């Protein structure tokens, strides 16, 4: 690859994604708030940037992977931001999960700045990022999607253009609704099984082979059984995403009764101090409601 990539946001997901771009032959220059992540990228063969402006000045593709809508706005706007410093014609791929309305507005601003925006939130967690098999839902123009295909294929496996700008974020919100509801149901099932002294390993095996089987069960059941909640995706971030779902639903005039309940359960778990845990830590919320919470967890 002859393309230069600026990667802004080298966190749990961003750093392995940047490394996969390096492995695919892209030249990657990264920036992050903490220096250690930049050093890790350099150790993998990338280049470290001293600022956002420094990262993007020669980039053909700019990728942002930061936690929330205000974080994206902060890195792309202003005199030191992406829009003011990236070269005309560069692709801007936002892999963050943010509000669809913010994504639409930022895409318009990007086009005014001469950039080609794609909102491209990802699903698959830390392991999916490490393995380069993320599911990526993309909003934007077909020509820009086609131009970004090599970079997207370096980090993902299932990559679909789902509509115009903002559509990727809308689909990601739906994804987070489904995932949270599945983790909540799995958590309740495990608490139920344990209350009856069932061999939970065997139970999960047989449940996974039937209609109850799911990617959530495959990836999260063992973490729950082991009480091992090191974050692949933090509960605090899923709480943010459920806020996006419920807010967007109100704006669209649609009713999500299960989504609203699960959003409250996620918020409760975060408010109880578990926001830094993996979202499989929803299990602890079910335990609390049942008077069975473990006070020692691995995170």
> Mind telling me the catalytic residues?
172
Please check whether residue 204 is in contact with residue 219, taking contact to mean a CB–CB distance below 8 angstroms.
no
Nearest to 217 by CA among 233, 238, 201, 197: 201
H helices present in 87-234, as ranges: 100-112, 125-131, 142-147, 149-155, 167-195, 200-208, 215-226
Give the pair of three-digit tokens for residue 254: 């649609």
Residue 237: phi, psi to the nearest 5? -75, -35
Tell me how far apart the alpha carbons of residues 108 and 103 are, in angstroms, rounded to a whole number.
Answer: 9
Q: Distance of alpha carbon 104 from its chain centroid, rounded?
A: 18
Q: How many C-beta atoms surround the C-beta of residue 35 within 10 A?
A: 9
N residues, the chain: 299
Please check whether residue 138 is in contact with residue 153, taking contact to mean a CB–CB distance below 8 angstroms.
no
Give the pair of three-digit tokens for residue 64: 């942002």
3-state helix, strand, coil in the chain (%, to 5): 55, 15, 30
Kindly give the pairing relationship between strand 122-123 and strand 156-163.
Answer: unpaired
């Amino acid at each position: 690859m002859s393309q230069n990539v600026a990667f802004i946001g080298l966190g749990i997901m961003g750093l392995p994604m940047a490394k996969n771009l390096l492995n695919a032959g892209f030249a990657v220059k990264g920036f992050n708030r903490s220096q250690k992540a930049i050093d890790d990228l350099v150790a993998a063969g990338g280049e470290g940037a001293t600022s956002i402006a420094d990262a993007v000045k020669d980039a053909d593709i700019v990728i942002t992977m930061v936690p929330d809508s205000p974080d994206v706005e902060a890195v792309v706007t202003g005199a030191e931001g992406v829009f003011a410093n990236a070269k005309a014609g560069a692709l801007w791929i936002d892999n963050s999960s943010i509000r669809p309305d913010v994504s639409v507005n930022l895409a318009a601003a990007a086009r005014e700045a001469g950039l080609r925006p794609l909102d491209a939130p990802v699903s698959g967690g830390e392991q999916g990022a490490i393995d380069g098999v993320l599911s990526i839902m993309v909003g934007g123009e077909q020509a820009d999607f086609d131009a970004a295909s090599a970079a997207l294929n370096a980090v993902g496996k299932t990559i679909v253009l789902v509509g115009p700008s903002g559509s990727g974020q809308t689909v990601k919100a739906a994804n987070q609704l489904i995932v949270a509801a599945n983790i909540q149901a799995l958590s309740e099932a495990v608490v139920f099984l344990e209350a009856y002294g069932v061999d939970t390993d065997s139970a999960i095996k047989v449940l996974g082979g039937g209609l109850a089987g799911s990617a959530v069960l495959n990836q999260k059941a063992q973490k729950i059984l082991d009480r091992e909640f090191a974050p692949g995706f933090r509960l605090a971030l899923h709480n943010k995403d459920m806020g996006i779902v419920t807010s967007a639903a109100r704006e669209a005039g649609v009713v999500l009764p299960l989504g609203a309940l699960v959003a409250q359960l996620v918020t409760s778990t975060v408010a109880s101090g578990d926001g830094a845990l993996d979202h499989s830590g929803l299990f602890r919320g079910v335990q609390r409601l049942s008077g069975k919470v473990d006070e020692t967890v691995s995170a």
